[in-house]
Amino acid sequence: MINYIIRRLLLTIPTIIGIITITFLLMYVVPGDPVRILMGQRGDPETIAMIRKEMGLDDPLMTQYFRFLGNILRGNFGRSYATNREVLPEILSRFPATLKLAFASMVIATVIGLSAGIISATRQYSFFDYSSMVTALMGVSAPVFWVGLLLMWIFGYTLGWLPISGYGGITYLILPAVTLGVRPAAYIARMTRSGFLEVLRQDYIRTARAKGLSERRVIYVHALRNTLITVVTILGMEFASLLSGAVLTETIFAWPGIGRLSVDAIMKRDHPIVQGTVLFTAIVFIFANLIVDISYAFLDPRIRYE
């Protein structure tokens, strides 16, 4: 297991370097001069040229790239063009808000998705099975921004039960968390149902029932553990996606997380912030993949022995 983890960590190095390279090049393909955007109408050509030289934007592209790569290896993500603050502390200051939102969303998605999937599988072709799968299909198909706006209109404007935007206590968290949790819950419900139905047809399930084990033990001990392998994959990927910044949801609900930070940086052509958030996102995805792969060995001993 330790050797496997080390190999996986070593494989992440070229992946991260590739992501850094692509992100760096894309930032210079996008039209727009960050200095002109920051200066606005006040900037004369002489001042703009001086600032570009101070920022190193007039250097050859390869020089800028290797300088950027060397800074990253030293843990220096640069400074924001807009605020002159260091990029990494800026990202880390927004991370707790995104983490809070992602955790709440995944709790909602896991509870609803697992419950609906298990009940649908154990009551196949029942009214609950059909209705839950239709609802799950709608949840997968509905755009996130549409779900968010619908919840804001119902529970914010019409009923007035919850605040529609801002950052604060649990009341501010409910609507964005539910908005983000709808799609993962639908995926989890569908995958749990299909996985359960496949597992319930296996020989060891029939053997467990023939030995006289209770149906509850057969379902929640023997069947659920093997079904969780697929569910854990979805949870890991979805949680990594949420941690990397739910751009639309954070923008709609004015949630001060990484997603909103990246949108603001893109609008201002703030290259260091954009590059920092993309790299942070990549690292989160890579380590989420690693954790998911390691968890397989604990959920299924056959994988461990192989």
Residues 71 and 77: beta-carbon distance below 8 Å: yes
pLDDT band per the 50, 70, 90 thresholds, residue 25: confident
Q: What is the rounded distance in angstroms from the CA atom of residue 220 to the CA atom of residue 119? A: 11
Residue 51 and residue 164 in one domain = no
Q: Give the contacts of 227 (CB within 8 A, at least 6 positions apart).
A: 192, 195, 196, 199
The average pLDDT across 121-136 equals 82
Q: What is the rounded distance in angstroms from the CA atom of residue 60 to the CA atom of residue 245? A: 32
Is pLDDT above 70 for 239? yes
Domain-located, residue 127: yes
Residue 144 and residue 285 in one domain = yes
Q: What is the rounded distance in angstroms from the CA atom of residue 131 to the CA atom of residue 122? A: 14
What pLDDT was estimated at residue 300?
58
Q: Give the contacts of 173 (CB within 8 A, at least 6 positions apart).
A: 100, 101, 104
Concatenated DSSP letters of 65-83: HHHHHHHHHTT---B-TTT
58 versus 266: which is more confidently predicted?
266
Residue 38 and residue 157 in one domain = no
- Number of Cβ within 10 Å of residue 215's Cβ equals 10
Residue 150 and residue 228 in one domain = yes
Domain-located, residue 84: no
Domain-located, residue 256: yes
Residues 260 and 254: beta-carbon distance below 8 Å: yes
- What percentage of the chain reaches a pLDDT higher than 90? 0
How many domains does the structure of the chain reveal? 2
CATH classification of the domain holding 295: 1.10.3720.10
What's the domain range around 20? 2-73
Q: What is the rounded distance in angstroms from the CA atom of residue 271 to the CA atom of residue 24? A: 8
Residue 102 and residue 199 in one domain = yes
Lowest mean pLDDT across 96-110, 150-164, 207-221: 207-221
Q: Which of 257, 261, 248 is nearest to 143 (CA)?
A: 248
Q: Which of 221, 222, 232 is nearest to 192 (CA)?
A: 232
Residue 129 and residue 62 in one domain = no
Residue 118 and residue 53 in one domain = no
What pLDDT was estimated at residue 41?
59
Domain-located, residue 220: yes
Residue 116 and residue 240 in one domain = yes
Residue 133 and residue 176 in one domain = yes
Is pLDDT above 60 for 106? yes
- Mean pLDDT value across the chain: 78
Q: What is the rounded distance in angstroms from the CA atom of residue 159 to the CA atom of residue 153? A: 8
Concatenated DSSP letters of 185-244: HHHHHHHHHHHHHHHHTSHHHHHHHHTT--HHHIIIIIIHHHHHHHHHHHHHHHHHHHHT
Our CA dihedral for 79, 85, 90, 91, rounded to 10 degrees, sits at -10
Domain-located, residue 88: no
Domain-located, residue 181: yes
Domain-located, residue 91: no
Residue 34 and residue 135 in one domain = no
Residue 186 and residue 228 in one domain = yes
Residue 148 and residue 279 in one domain = yes
Point out the domain boundary residue: 28, 58, 73: 73
Lowest mean pLDDT across 19-23, 45-49, 91-95, 189-193: 45-49
Q: What is the rounded distance in angstroms from the CA atom of residue 163 to the CA atom of residue 161? A: 7
Domain-located, residue 82: no
What pLDDT was estimated at residue 227?
73
3-state class (DSSP) for residue 260? helix
What pLDDT was estimated at residue 305?
44
